[in-house]
Amino acid sequence: MGLSLQLPAAGRLHHVEIWVEDYPRAKASLGWVLERLGYRLESEWVHGGSWQGAGEYIVLEAGPDVSGPHVRRRAGLNHLAFAAGPASAVDALVAAAGGRGWTLMYPERHPHAGGAGHYAAYLENADGFEVELVADIGVDE
């Protein structure tokens, strides 16, 4: 029987709000990845939407307060990394991602761009947002 750890609520990620220039475009790429990873679109408004995860939620929002494009190589958020299940699930996401506005980063080193013992895909969308999809090594396919 596995050991279950109960983490205290304090210190856990509650939500992430990502400001985007174009909400429909962000929904088509970032929203698609979130839904493939098990998040569900919980609510939507004129300039944004909220995707509910297992505990935390992620907001994508555009609007009058957003000024300028996202630049991941400047101070601030570089990327979000998600547990994506077994390597086959990572591979399936990569195969489908091109049709959803994503480009595979570091293709010459994929799927070990993070190192020999790290199976992951690094994807970037047209707006410069990066997601890392990390395989659970050792998980039965």
In tens, the pLDDT along 11-63 reads 888 899 999 999 999 999 999 999 999 999 999 999 999 999 998 999 999 98
Name the helix (H) or strand (E) containing 68.
none
Q: Which of 3, 107, 55 is nearest to 42 (CA)?
A: 55
Per-residue model confidence as pLDDT tens digits over 70-120: 887 777 788 999 999 999 999 999 999 999 999 999 999 999 999 999 999
Beta strand 57-61 pairing with 48-52: antiparallel
Is residue 3 scored above 60 in pLDDT?
no
User: pTM for the whole thing?
Assistant: 0.85
Q: For residues 31 and 44, is the Cβ–Cβ distance under 8 A?
A: no
* Domains located in the chain, CATH noted: 15-134 (3.10.180.10)
117 versus 138: the higher-pLDDT residue is 117
Is residue 1 scored above 50 in pLDDT?
no
- Grade residue 138 by pLDDT with cuts at 50, 70 and 90: low
Say how many residues make up the chain: 141
Q: How many CB atoms lie within 10 A of CB 49?
A: 19
Name the helix (H) or strand (E) containing 26.
helix 23-26
3-state DSSP assignment of residue 95: helix
Q: Which tokens belong to 100?
A: 């959803």
